[in-house]
Amino acid sequence: MNMPNYLIDTHCHLHDQEWFTPEQAEQFLQEAHAANVRQTVVIGTDPQDSANAQKFAQAHPNVFWTYGIHPEYAASPEISDALLGEELRKLREKIRSYGEDERVNPATAGVDDALRARVSVVCCPSAPVAIGEIGLDYHYDGYDRTAQIHLFEQMLQLAQDLSLPVSLHIREAFDDAWPILDNFPHLTGVVHSFTGGKKDLKKALAREFYIGVNGLATYTTPPLPPLEKMLLETDAPFLTPVPFRGTINKPGYVREIATYLSEKLGVAEVNIAEQTTNNAKQLFQFGDASLC
């Protein structure tokens, strides 16, 4: 069976109204579609932002969402053990109820379980497709590393409990991250916006993680993973690729990243699209854009 040759932005913040007005978000989704970027994953960074991501995804076909708490919020008052414990308890209940709802959904009755799951996730994305972005960030001195590690472990446990992949934000903290991740050996996921060196890339690939490649690749020299372990992303509104540096990033610019990689790797752009889209679908377990 032929794989689709459209592109997927696997990590952006288009739902965040601090950066995008609702009108801009609608316009940028239309522009992305015109650029053959047919599916988008909006990323939660705290409980409220994750709820906003869910609402945005539910309002837009072929947009998916994640639940995450960024490490920068690890020491914030609302992320105390008591409050976070209640938040995660509610999330577990919600996700289990989504599963119950789909089993009795008359729109999917009479079809096999695999197809029902694909149609449900693509057309009615109530549940998150991943837990993220989560991780460790030691770039700024003011961040509480102990609190970050504690939160990271809690979020990894959540992903394991819910059998969801993770979207990892790891910045200048790989030495601490790998031993923690090794305590959750069955988790799958992606190292978003990879900024490590060859040693850490090798460790990520040995653990079967995908690697998020974004606009950084067009103006820096990070080591690139093999195509079969690569996901494309924008991290919009951040990390705008060449030739649009200095402007706000948006999902349609995944096309610029694919074009750049095609030239750098000597691989046809259609093959870049096919493989990275197949990778994203494999990790996040959603179906083809053409289903809706």
Quick one: average pLDDT of 21-32? 98
| Confidence bin at 62 (pLDDT 50/70/90) | very high
pLDDT tens readout for residues 137-171: 999 988 899 999 999 999 999 999 999 999 999 99
CB 37 within 8 A of CB 6: yes
Provide the pLDDT for residue 4. Answer: 64
Check pLDDT > 60 for residue 25.
Answer: yes
Provide the pLDDT for residue 92. Answer: 86
Quick one: average pLDDT of 55-72? 96
pLDDT tens readout for residues 255-278: 999 999 999 999 999 999 999 999
Provide the pLDDT for residue 100. Answer: 61
Residue type present at position 238: F
Q: Looking at the whole model, is its pTM more than 0.75?
A: yes
Residue 218 DSSP one-character state: G
Distance CA(142)–CA(55), nearest Å, equals 32
Return the exposure string of 240-250: e unless at least 16 CB atoms fall within 10 Å of the residue's CB, then b: bbeeeeeeebb
Return the exposure string of 115-140: e unless at least 16 CB atoms fall within 10 Å of the residue's CB, then b: ebbbbbbbebbbbbbbbbbbbbbbee
Quick one: average pLDDT of 105-122? 38
Compare 39 and 83 and report the one with higher pLDDT.
39
Provide the pLDDT for residue 157. Answer: 95
- DSSP H or E run through 171: strand 166-171
Provide the pLDDT for residue 141. Answer: 86
CATH class of 7-291: alpha beta
Bridge partners (DSSP) listed for residue 135: 169
Check pLDDT > 90 for residue 241.
Answer: yes
Residues 6+ apart with CB under 8 A from 193: 11, 169, 212, 214, 216, 233, 235, 239
Provide the pLDDT for residue 124. Answer: 45
Q: Which of 79-88, 142-151, 204-213 has the lowest mean pLDDT?
A: 79-88
| Confidence bin at 9 (pLDDT 50/70/90) | very high
